[in-house]
Amino acid sequence: MEPLLVSEESPHRRRLNDLAVDLSGRSAGFRRSLPQGLTRALADLVRAMNCYYSNLIEGHDTHPVDIERALKGDYSTDSRQRVLQLEAKAHIEVQKWIDEGGLFGRTRTTTVDGLCEVHRRFCELLPKEMLWIEHPQTGTKLPVIPGGLRKHDVRIGCHVPISPGALPRFLKRFEERYTQAGRTDRILAAACGHHRLLWLHPFLDGNGRVARMMSYAMLLESLDTGGIWSVARGLARHESEYKQRLMECDRQRRNDLDGRGHLSEEALAEFADFFLRVCLDQIDFMESLMQPERLRQRLLMWSEEEIRVGNLPPKSERVLEVLLYRGELPRGEIAGLLGVSARQARRVTSALMEREIVTSASTRAPLRLTLPARLAPRLMPGLFPERSSG
């Protein structure tokens, strides 16, 4: 499995260090550029976006609108679609746990316990019909044990992962190398460890989702991203290159100039370069969408249309504009803000909540902005494909 990181002596290392430093600065700058009211709302939407694109890489297409419905307990009558909604809901729950610091402090993202817990939490929420795989040679159905390391040999395309008996030893080395990494190495490890975990294939199924959640968590921790951007969208948009570069990392070292480990250091460096550039590209994309003034214009245009057709009362757009920049708005301030009666203020609040553009933790808690998936094509065009009419 060595090298687990591109060595300091590698001719590729300086370029990767530069990318890591650039990524750190760009991620921090993007987060600082957002008004307070936008960060939490965006993180909630990115969670659904990350789930959508990560599952899409696995061939499971569950649109974020359907994911939101599943989170409300509104499932499709089509049994196949319902299963995919439950899968997406499981993914969302685990990422929410990660976003709230579930992997920090008590355990690190790259520990064996941490990886097994991510897998366990994900699989325990899956419908039973998704917890089986068919053995490619014998056709026997094998149960997927939540959080359990595989006990069978497997083959993934041309790659034959290590035997089940060797997994504990290799995972221990994986944990030792990545948990001891410094800040720059930790950023690079989000890329390098991504391949090495897939190379190990520690679980019978679900390895792709676990690897992407692991890398997401590593970047969340090392860059303090706030969960407002995700590499999964970029990987899905470059799926063929992503999978091809992963396969190239399976190659053995070619010569004495290709590192000192068993596997090719050059291929690992090229994958890390690809991965970090995808991260930078996604920050660029999110920055272009979330420019506060442009978002304000789209938000006001949408609210004006809603007022015109009678879905929102007049002056509702003022509440949205204040929430965009302030983050929260106490209910008691709405009447004064709009210059209306308390009764009319309650009517505005109710209408905005019915349109799911604002939310509140309780009937007395302050209002805050939300970004529902169904409005993403209007407010953040291109974040994910519009839902087909079919």
Query: Model confidence over 61-103: pLDDT tens digits?
Result: 998 899 999 999 999 999 999 999 999 999 999 999 999 988 8
Q: How far is CA 316 from the centre of its chain?
A: 32
Walk me through the domains of the chain, giving residue ranges and CATH numbers: 13-289 (1.10.3290.10), 292-377 (1.10.10.10)
1-10, 100-109, 308-317, 381-390: the lowest-pLDDT one: 381-390
pTM over 0.85? The answer is: yes
Q: Judge whether 308 and 283 are in contact, CB under 8 Å.
A: no
Q: Is a pLDDT exceeding 90 seen at residue 389?
A: no
Mean pLDDT of the chain: 92
Residue 224: what pLDDT? Answer: 87
Mean pLDDT over 150-178 rounds to: 93
Residue 84: what pLDDT? Answer: 94
Structure tokens at 323: 């929430």
Q: Is a pLDDT exceeding 90 seen at residue 218?
A: yes
Q: Is a pLDDT exceeding 60 seen at residue 58?
A: yes
Cα–Cα distance measured from residue 140 to residue 206, given in angstroms and rounded to the nearest whole number: 18
Q: What are the backbone dihedrals phi and psi of residue 282, each rounded to the nearest 5 degrees, phi first? A: -70, -35
Q: Judge whether 5 and 181 are in contact, CB under 8 Å.
A: yes
Mean pLDDT over 160-167 rounds to: 95
Question: What percent of the chain clears pLDDT 70, i.e. is strictly above it?
Answer: 98
Q: For residue 106, what pLDDT band results from cuts at 50, 70 and 90? A: very low
For 131, the 3-state DSSP assignment is coil
Q: Is a pLDDT exceeding 70 seen at residue 107?
A: no
**Torsion angle, CA of 256/258/260/263, rounded to 10 degrees?**
-130
For 80, the 3-state DSSP assignment is helix
Q: Judge whether 85 and 105 are in contact, CB under 8 Å.
A: no
Residue 326: what pLDDT? Answer: 87
Q: Which residues contact 243 (CB under 8 A, 6 or more apart)?
A: none
Mean pLDDT over 193-219 rounds to: 96
Amino acid at 75: Y
Mean pLDDT over 355-364 rounds to: 92
Mean pLDDT over 53-67 rounds to: 92
Structure tokens at 165: 């008996």
Structure tokens at 145: 């044990």
273-319 residue pLDDT tens:
999 999 999 999 999 988 878 889 999 999 999 999 999 999 999 99
Neighbours of 251 (CB within 10 A): 13
Residue 390: what pLDDT? Answer: 41
CA dist 3 to 178, 242, 260, 274, Å?
A: 12, 20, 7, 18
Mean pLDDT over 233-245 rounds to: 96
Q: Is a pLDDT exceeding 70 seen at residue 388?
A: no
128-137, 199-208, 322-331: the lowest-pLDDT one: 128-137
Residue 231: what pLDDT? Answer: 95
Cα–Cα distance measured from residue 135 to residue 140, given in angstroms and rounded to the nearest whole number: 5
Cα–Cα distance measured from residue 190 to residue 27, given in angstroms and rounded to the nearest whole number: 15
* pLDDT: which is higher, 388 or 305: 305
CA dist 382 to 63, 237, 345, Å?
A: 13, 12, 34
Residue 387: what pLDDT? Answer: 65
Q: Where are the alpha helices (H) located in the chain, listed in sequence order?
A: 13-33, 36-57, 64-71, 79-99, 112-124, 167-179, 183-200, 207-223, 231-237, 239-248, 265-289, 292-308, 316-326, 334-338, 342-354, 376-379
329-351 residue pLDDT tens:
999 999 999 999 999 999 999 99
